[in-house]
Amino acid sequence: MLKKKVGFSISEAMKWIIVAAICFVGGNTNVKGQCELGTPADYRPEELEGLWYVDYMFPSLKFVNASNMFDLNGAVYNVRSNVIFPDVGSPRNYDGTWTINGNNKTITIDYPDLPDFYGSYIVQAIQKDQYAFVRGCPASAPEGLTLIMLRERCPDGSVESMLAEETEVLGVPFEDFIEDLVVKIECSQQE
């Protein structure tokens, strides 16, 4: 497995699309999505509407590029996930639903073509500026789900600041899960 410290420059960091796992909220966390929850916080589901580029995810699809389009309809997000795999090279769409239950405390995720993601999760979602952290600990799912998403594929701001912010919010040193890195892509190639 690849092991790398966080101390790389902004230009180096911009070359990486990271696909892996983290868990966060008020409890203890580790790399593979296992969680010990504190009290999950409420969040505003409407903050996740629209297009997000996936930066960090677990379970991993081993993708080169991925994005999610969230359309909130009542208690249900209709989600279209657009994924490019390194061995295919062309995008593939996965349509699914995220159903919000229990005063925003749980989400049931169902992608018919992605059974690894099916199940109910106790969730917290935090949107901070151009970054969104979505963390789900298993309610009826086999393991945790984590997404770190960006409003822009190649953000103009400091990637190092973003990584530091993720580390602060997640409560886990970023280098602890960099070993799950799957691919690296230059932003100029994605535009």
pLDDT at 81: 92
Alpha-carbon gap, residue 142 to 38, rounded angstroms: 19
pLDDT at 167: 67
> Is 183 contained in some domain?
yes
> Is 1 contained in some domain?
no
Alpha-carbon gap, residue 79 to 62, rounded angstroms: 19
Number of domains in the chain: 1
pLDDT at 50: 92
In 43-184, beta strands by DSSP E: 50-58, 65-73, 76-84, 91-101, 106-110, 119-128, 131-138, 145-150, 183-184
> Is 5 contained in some domain?
no
Domain of residue 27, residue span: 10-190
> Is 3 contained in some domain?
no
- Domain with residue 51: its CATH number is 2.40.128.20
> Is 4 contained in some domain?
no
pLDDT at 70: 93
Tokens standing for 129?
């500026």
pLDDT at 19: 25
pLDDT at 39: 52
Question: What is the DSSP pairing of strand 65-73 with strand 76-84?
Answer: antiparallel
pLDDT at 72: 92
Ranges of the chain with pLDDT below 70: 1-43, 128-129, 154-191
> Is 141 contained in some domain?
yes
Find out whether the peptide bond into 91 is cis, omega within 30 degrees of 0: no
